[in-house]
Amino acid sequence: MVLERIAGPSDLRTLGPDDLATLTDELREAVVAAVARAGGHLGSNLGVVELTVALHRVLNSPHDRIVWDTGHQAYVHKMLTGRADDFTSLRTAGGLSGYPSRAESPHDHVENSHASTALSWAAGLAWAERARPTVPPRRTVAVIGDGALTGGMAYEALNNLGHHGLPVLVVVNDNGRSYAETVSRLPQRIAEIRTDPRYRRLRDRLDDVVARLPASGLAARVRDANLRALKTAVSEAPALQSFVEALGVRYLGPFDGHDVAVVERAVRDALRLDTPVLLHVLTEKGRGYGPAETDPEKRLHDTSAFDPETGPAPSGSRSWTAAFSDALAGAMERRDDVVAMTAAMPGSTGLLAVERRSPGRVIDVGIAEQHAVTSAAGLAHAGMTPVLAVYSTFLARAFDQANLDVGLHGEHVVLVLDRAGVTGDDGPSHHGVLDLALTLRIPGMTVLAPSCEQDLRALLDAALELDGPVALRFPKGTVVRADALGPRAGARLTAPLSARRLHEGADACVLAVGDRVRPAVAAAHALAAEGLAVTVWDVRSVRPADPAMIADAAAAPLVVTVENGVVAGGAGAELADRIAAAVGPTAVPPVLRLGVPTRYVPHGDAGRILADLGLDAPGIAAAVRAAVAAGRERPTAARS
């Protein structure tokens, strides 16, 4: 095995062409094996094998810094920087992270994993190098996909790189896709540009103009010197070249990203220029693994564990995403004002299926959450009802837009937050734990958290009927059926946003939010067996909170709130405020708020993490038991 001999990047430099070919095969096999075992990003990593080898053969990492945009495509980089032996532990608790990680290696610099930031990081690193030069000069390389290049920050940084002349090498890994096809005309293949009918029409029009110019004088010189150049530029150059060179960034490419020697030479040439350079590299997502190459939805961009012989099979269980997708598709068939939006994740948010049922009514904006939220405000202002489906973690980027474009203007935008709460394997950047605390800061925003599929449908319908901004959140994983919450889950509600009492008891009142309702009910059953009688409310609408639920809680000797999100400023804080507002500050019962602490939670199995945080049924039962006991010992105990 060649890979066994690679303890670090310097070992790559001694390899000849045959060894390199063997190595790239071995790297692909290792990627497939690790992702098959624990899930992860497959297609993206299979596409960057040769590119990563070439970069590490030229650069002197970690002195030279390679910043991976998003970081989901850094598996090969990990194996080439001393982590091949540990690679089987990828994405397991205590094992290697699925993204770059400073704790793992000095070769890893950025572990953000929200897209489109690498060029900004690189600009900062290059500014620092300019201020305090190192010997030998430290080079900075940012590797960004054509998908991540659709994010606003990447454009902002490109503008800066060019304007300030920062010698950063930006490698654009262009595979034509984000998950789905990339929403951009910029990094299109040169061949596509040449055959694009619009460019052919423009070129023909230029031919007409040239033909009609007089044959002498200034016009002729313009024709000879400029118009031909313009014609060539329009017809031959990729749009990306014209765009970045206008910003002051040199363009080189496009190059075959699967030819190590070609990429190596291009990287050396680019670095020699010592200016901002964009190196355009063409790759194939999923290269070398049949099921990835032929996956029409996302080239197996990411997947859960699978059998490597057959490739991933469709999941047997019904997900929250599928339940949302069906509910929205049904609503869109009933209402022609509703339009669905995604930021580059049409499959993962269930909108591909919606598009199939309502063609032309799903808008993909690219990896551009901020733009998505503000353009949703525009759609709403013009009388449409936009439903933006986005992972909870990615909404954080668009908080300002949600607050000021949507909230301040009172626009009826429905933000549907998938993967809300602890998500598990993708680690600190991907847990969706901030959305409750953030959306609750937005005046006038209705905040909904269904606990089961039946309520997801009911609350989505309610959200579409409401006015003003609405956020609706649900977790990753298998959707809960209403009957799993007990016989009362089917009872009729007095109003669309009413809370639902699922269990009754006089010792404590548990207000459970969204996916914490089921464990709270289980906790109540366990406590009942011990002689502790606990009320459990399914909150459903965190804001506005049901006054009947608030009055019931205010009369209880102890209130316990439970949410799968940061406890600081979250649903529990909101509900405690409502209780205090209802009965006055001196009559408030003690309120214990359970949720995620304000710290970065590492990757691991989501169920395990929730258990460790005391947010599963035994944890909730233990917290209630202890609080009731403490209250009995010290009846005037301080409020939490």
Nearer to ligand TPP by C-beta: 375 or 535?
Answer: 375
Q: Which of these, 370, 319, 340, lies nearest to 481 by C-alpha position? A: 319
Q: Which of these, 66, 81, 71, lies nearest to 140 by C-alpha position? A: 66
Q: Are 409 and 447 in contact (CB under 8 A)?
A: no
In one letter, which amino acid is 58? V
Residues 268-307 that bind ligand TPP (CB under 6 A): 285, 301
Which spans in 59-169 are helix H? 75-78, 118-131, 152-164
What would the two tokens of residue 383 be? 């009388």
Least Å distance, CB 161 to ligand TPP, is: 18
Q: Are 537 and 513 in contact (CB under 8 A)?
A: no
Q: Are 159 and 247 in contact (CB under 8 A)?
A: yes
Pairing of strands 559-566, 534-538: unpaired
Q: Are 259 and 267 in contact (CB under 8 A)?
A: no
Least Å distance, CB 44 to ligand TPP, is: 3
Task: Say whether 530 is catalytic.
Answer: no
Least Å distance, CB 296 to ligand TPP, is: 15
The per-residue DSSP string of 3-69 comes to GGG-SSGGGGGG--HHHHHHHHHHHHHHHHHHHHHH-EE-HHHHHTHHHHHHHHHHS-TTTSEEEES
Least Å distance, CB 152 to ligand TPP, is: 10
Q: Rounded to 10 degrees, what is the CA torsion of 622, 625, 627, 632?
A: -160
Nearer to ligand TPP by C-beta: 78 or 285?
Answer: 285
Question: How far is residue 218 CA from its own chain's centroid?
Answer: 55
Q: Which of 122, 367, 387, 527 binds ligand TPP (CB under 6 A)?
A: 367
Least Å distance, CB 17 to ligand TPP, is: 26
Nearer to ligand TPP by C-beta: 70 or 81?
Answer: 70
547-554 helix and 571-583 helix, angle to the nearest 10 degrees: 80
Least Å distance, CB 630 to ligand TPP, is: 43
Binding-site residue total for ligand TPP (CB under 6 A)? 26
Nearer to ligand TPP by C-beta: 263 or 573?
Answer: 263
**Does the protein bind ligand TPP through residue 147 (CB under 6 A)?**
yes
Residues 97-116 that bind ligand TPP (CB under 6 A): 113-115
Least Å distance, CB 148 to ligand TPP, is: 3
Task: Say whether 50 is catalytic.
Answer: no
Nearer to ligand TPP by C-beta: 255 or 394?
Answer: 394
Least Å distance, CB 217 to ligand TPP, is: 49
Q: Which long-range contacts (CB under 8 A, 24 or more apart) does 236-241 make?
A: 236/190, 236/194, 237/190, 237/193, 238/187, 238/188, 238/189, 238/190, 238/193, 238/280, 239/185, 239/186, 239/187, 239/188, 239/193, 240/172, 240/186, 240/187, 240/188, 240/278, 240/280, 241/280
Judged by CB under 6 A, the stretch of 135-143, 146-154, 322-330, 532-540 that binds ligand TPP is 146-154
Peptide bond between residue 346 and the one before it cis (omega within 30 degrees of 0): no
Residues 161-180 that bind ligand TPP (CB under 6 A): 173, 175, 177-179
Q: Which of 56, 57, 72, 543 binds ligand TPP (CB under 6 A)?
A: 72
Q: Taken in order 121, 122, 125, 130, is the CA torsion positive or negative?
A: negative
Other CB atoms within 10 Å distance of the CB of residue 432? 26
**Does the protein bind ligand TPP through residue 603 (CB under 6 A)?**
no
For residue 308, the SS3 value is coil
Instruction: Report the alpha-carbon distance of residue 287 to residue 258 in Å, rounded.
Output: 9
Nearer to ligand TPP by C-beta: 344 or 509?
Answer: 344
Q: Which of 61, 70, 241, 385 binds ligand TPP (CB under 6 A)?
A: 70
Given the residues 104, 129, 369, 563, the one annotated as active site: 369
For residue 311, the SS3 value is coil
Given the residues 139, 287, 397, 473, the one annotated as active site: 397
What would the two tokens of residue 101 be? 């990680």
Q: Which of these, 21, 22, 5, lies nearest to 259 by C-alpha position? A: 21
Residue length of the chain:
640
Least Å distance, CB 266 to ligand TPP, is: 18
Residues 378-437 that bind ligand TPP (CB under 6 A): 394, 397
Nearer to ligand TPP by C-beta: 255 or 537?
Answer: 255
Instruction: Report the alpha-carbon distance of residue 92 to residue 330 in Å, rounded.
Output: 38
Least Å distance, CB 355 to ligand TPP, is: 17
String marking each residue 503-542 x if it binds ligand TPP according to CB under 6 A = ----------------------------------------
Nearer to ligand TPP by C-beta: 121 or 537?
Answer: 121
Pairing of strands 140-145, 65-68: parallel
Task: Say whether 397 is catalytic.
Answer: yes
Q: Which of 24, 61, 73, 541 binds ligand TPP (CB under 6 A)?
A: 73
Nearer to ligand TPP by C-beta: 258 or 397?
Answer: 397
**Does the protein bind ligand TPP through residue 148 (CB under 6 A)?**
yes
Least Å distance, CB 146 to ligand TPP, is: 5
Residues 328-347 that bind ligand TPP (CB under 6 A): 343-345
Given the residues 57, 231, 285, 518, the one annotated as active site: 285
In one letter, which amino acid is 435? D
String marking each residue 16-45 x if it binds ligand TPP according to CB under 6 A = ----------------------------x-
Q: Are 391 and 429 in contact (CB under 8 A)?
A: no
Nearer to ligand TPP by C-beta: 369 or 418?
Answer: 369
Nearer to ligand TPP by C-beta: 369 or 515?
Answer: 369
Judged by CB under 6 A, the stretch of 68-76, 77-85, 318-326, 520-528 that binds ligand TPP is 68-76
Would you name the residues annotated as active-site residues?
Answer: 285, 369, 397
Q: Contact residues for ligand TPP (CB under 6 A)?
A: 44, 47, 70, 72-73, 113-115, 145-148, 173, 175, 177-179, 285, 301, 343-345, 367, 369, 394, 397
